[in-house]
Amino acid sequence: MESDQENCCKQEDKLGKSIKSIEIYWAKYKKFDWITCSEKELQEARANANKLIKMSEKIQNEFSGKWKNI
């Protein structure tokens, strides 16, 4: 059985990886040419941007309550 410390470290690692993933894609779509891209590229970028928003909301909701007590 995991100790609270081990569980906390795993959660920190998971959070760090999720944040890094968001930062990578944020940088990509920040530079994306939304005006002159193809329709296919635009649809893919929109879908991925929506995934990023949902992922960031999930991370915020999952971890905000847990970190208040630390």
- The span from the CA of 56 to the CA of 66, in Å, is 16
Domain ranges of the chain: 4-68
Q: What is the pLDDT of residue 1?
A: 57
Report whether 52 contacts 32 (CB < 8 A): no
* pLDDT tens column, 8-61: 778 778 878 888 888 888 888 888 898 999 999 999 999 988 988 888 888 788
- Measured CA to CA, the distance from residue 51 to residue 13 in angstroms comes to 20
Q: Is residue 64 predicted with pLDDT exceeding 70?
A: yes
What does the pLDDT read at residue 33?
92
- pLDDT value at residue 67: 57
- Answer whether 18's CB lies under 8 Å from 59's CB: yes
The confidence score (pLDDT) of residue 41 equals 94
The pLDDT of residue 23 is 86
